Amino acid sequence: MAARMQEARGILVNSFESLEPRAARALRDGLCVPGRRTPPAYFVGPLVSAGGDKEHACLRWLDAQPDRSVVFLCFGSMGTLPKHQLEEIAIGLESSGQRFLWVVRSPPGAGDDLDALLPAGFQERTKGRGLAVGGWAPQAAVLLHRAAGAFVTHCWWNSTLEGVAAGLPLLCWPLYAEQRLNKVWVVEEMELGVEIGWGGPAPPATAR
């Protein structure tokens, strides 16, 4: 790829210069591939989804919540967590008293019944201040909703940009691949979020 890059007339980057000034300078100064020509870079981002299903039930639920009051948890279309971890997240959300919207992806072979995946009675006990949605939600529309207050994200690049474009603080829980690198950028470089869910000492067992 680096060898063929010299033949390109330009590089399109899904970001913007004020977000990544050091990366922009590196591209502009030809530092990406030492000794080789770097084509002009055009920062065309953030390219954010138009919002998806405007009639999704979770958006109607958000309409009834106060401004900037809801924590949105979503780990992407491939971000599946084991059942025991889903249960621990549920316990934490219930104990916190925080309003939340949580997109829950079932582990392989676990089925789609949220009542079977989550602690018994969880959805009933958190009804009104919390909503668990199976499988998918219109993420961009949720993040831009007036009720959204924070974003628990796996730090896939599109999700990161959508959170930044919405002006929300990011709670970073990377799962695999470059998500961990993106987390470093969010937390340490731009200081737009904090890290959770990766490394550090194990917390004490939750009282049941």
Residue 205's pLDDT is: 56
Residue 150's pLDDT is: 98
Residue 142's pLDDT is: 97
Residue type, 203: P
pTM of the model: 0.87
33 contacts 2 by C-beta, under 8 angstroms: yes
**CATH class of the structural domain 57-195:** alpha beta
Please report, for the chain, the start and end positions of each structural domain, with discontinuous segments joined by +: 2-43, 57-195
Please identify every stretch of the chain with a pLDDT value under 50, giving residue numbers as ranges. 200
